[in-house]
Amino acid sequence: QQPVQSPQAVILREGEDAVINCSSSKALYSVHWYRQKHGEAPVFLMILLKGGEQKGHEKISASFNEKKQQSSLYLTASQLSYSGTYFCGTEGGANNLFFGTGTRLTVIP
């Protein structure tokens, strides 16, 4: 039930954009996105519910296509502070929360 994320890793220069994808083999009720910095706990970014909505958080936004059971996280004009590992969490019918394997994002000057 673990969602699959791609890419596994990406390196960006400051100001560049990135897209991180998350897909599940199960029907989804919601998708959560988190960022984790080395040695710290995952920090919540946003949650998307059924309905194909798109949300934004400053220069970070996400979309959720429930029919395709996919979500994408968009990072625009990346900043050094965006570096970290991004995880998607998917919630299916049982109301539990499964996380993907993560995408390591490195932003360099």
Under the rule (CB under 8 A), what is the footprint of another protein?
1-2, 5, 29-30, 32, 34, 40-44, 47, 49, 87, 89, 91, 94-102
Minimum CB separation of residue 15 from another protein in Å reads: 27
Please say which residue, 80 or 94, places its beta carbon nearer to another protein. Answer: 94
Q: CA-CA distance, 66 to 74, in Å (whole number)?
A: 17
Minimum CB separation of residue 88 from another protein in Å reads: 9
Please say which residue, 29 or 74, places its beta carbon nearer to another protein. Answer: 29
Please say which residue, 16 or 36, places its beta carbon nearer to another protein. Answer: 36
Q: CA-CA distance, 65 to 78, in Å (whole number)?
A: 24
Minimum CB separation of residue 92 from another protein in Å reads: 11
H or E segment at 80?
none
Q: Are 24 and 50 in contact (CB under 8 A)?
A: no
> 């994320």: which residue's tokens?
5
One-character DSSP codes across 54-68: EEEETTEEEEEETTT
